[in-house]
Amino acid sequence: MNNPLVSIVVPCYNQGQYLDEALQSILEQTYENWECIIVNDGSPDNTEEEAKKWILKDTRFKYVYSKNKGVSHARNLGIAIAKGELILPLDADDKIGQNYIKKGSELFQENPSLKLVYCLAMKFGDENGEWNLPVFSLENLSKDNLIFCSALYKKTDWYFIGGYDEQMKSGLEDWEFWISLLKNGGEVVQIKEVEFYYRIKKSSRQTDLTNDNRKSLFEYMSIKHADFFVKQLGTFKHLDSVIKSTKSEFKNKLQSKKFVIDLFCTTFFHFSIFGLYKKNK
C-alpha cells in the first residue's frame, strides 16, 4: 500500500447547514490523494444545492442521491462506489483535522496488517472540550462503543464483514460495525493527537434514541454477536453469579456498623469541605 487513495464518505440527511464545514475540513487535508463521496440520504433540506457547489469547486468531490433508508445504507452506498483502498466515514455535521488522513494512511503503509486507525477527539457546538473515551480493548468494546464513526479502515474489510448493518436504522450501527470488524482480532492504533471534531447538538440521533429502541438494539446485537459478548463478558450464568455476589457483599457491608459509620463520616467530610470552599470562594 503506497500513497493509497482514501475515500471519505459523507452521508447527509437534514444536515445541509453544516455540510460546508465538514467538506472544508476535507479540502484542507495535507494529504491530497483522496476522493469524497457525498451521499444525500433523501434529505428534504438544501443538501443537494450545497453538495453541488463543492463538485464544481474540486473534482475530487462526488455526489450521489438515494431515497431515505438510513445512515447505514447511505454509508454502504458511498463505500460501494468508492475507489479508495482506505475508507473514512464522516458525518455531515462533524469535522476532521488537516493531518488526519496523512497520519492515518502512513500508519497503514507502515503496517499492512492494521485493521483500524482513529485519533483523539474534541467536542464542539453546544458543548466544548476534550472527548475522553475509554482506552481501546475488546473487553471495553463489549461494554460500550468507544470509537467514533470517523476512523480509517480498508475497503476489503468492509466488504468481508458485509458492511454496515442496515437493520440498525435507529442507531448504534457504528458500535456494531466495529464489533464485526474487530471481534476476530486485528491491530487498532489511536493517533495521540486531536484530529476529529464531534459536534454536540441539543437534538441528534443519539439523544433522540428512546429507551425502547435502545433495548431493542441491544437485544439484536446480543443475538448477532453472542459469541463476542460471551467471550468478553462471560455467560449469562456467570454474570448472574457476579451480580448476586456483589449484592450479597454490599448487603453484608451495610449490616456492618463500622462500614455505615465510615461511609457517613466520609460523605459528611466531603460536603463540609465543599461548603467551606463555596463560602470562601
Mean residue pLDDT of the chain comes to: 87
Tell me, what's the pLDDT at 208?
59
Q: Are 72 and 164 spatial neighbours (Cβ–Cβ below 8 Å)? A: yes
The band of 206, judged by pLDDT with boundaries at 50, 70 and 90, is low
Q: Is the pLDDT of residue 247 over 80?
A: no
Tell me, what's the pLDDT at 242?
53
Q: Is the pLDDT of residue 274 over 50?
A: no
Integer Cα distance of 23 and 166 in angstroms: 25
Q: Is the pLDDT of residue 181 over 70?
A: yes
3-state secondary structure at position 89 = strand
Q: Is the pLDDT of residue 202 over 90?
A: no
pLDDT in tens, 216-240: 888 898 999 999 999 988 876 665 5
Query: Residue 152 gets which letter from DSSP?
Result: B
pLDDT in tens, 52-109: 999 999 999 999 999 999 999 999 999 999 999 999 999 999 999 999 999 999 999 9
The percentage of the chain sitting over the pLDDT mark of 90, rounded to a whole number, equals 68
Sheet with 6-12: strands ordered across = 61-66, 34-41, 6-12, 86-89, 153-154
Integer Cα distance of 45 and 234 in angstroms: 46
**CATH superfamily assigned to domain 6-211:** Spore Coat Polysaccharide Biosynthesis Protein SpsA; Chain A (3.90.550.10)
**Which cell numbers hold the place of 42?**
433523501
Q: Are 183 and 225 spatial neighbours (Cβ–Cβ below 8 Å)? A: yes
Mean pLDDT of 132-142: 93
Q: Is the pLDDT of residue 163 over 70?
A: yes
**Which cell numbers hold the place of 226?**
453472542
The secondary structure element, H or E, covering residue 99 is none
Integer Cα distance of 170 and 208 in angstroms: 9
218 or 192, higher pLDDT: 192
End-to-end Cα, the chain, rounded Å:
59
Q: Give Cα 274 to chain centroid, integer Å.
A: 36
Question: Cα torsion at 54, 57, 59, 65 (round to 10°)?
Answer: 20
Q: Is the pLDDT of residue 249 over 70?
A: no
229 or 263, higher pLDDT: 229
Say which residues have a Cβ less than 8 Å from residue 154's Cβ, sequence separation at least 6: 85, 86, 87, 108, 115
Span(s) in the chain for CATH 3.90.550.10: 6-211
126 or 29, higher pLDDT: 29
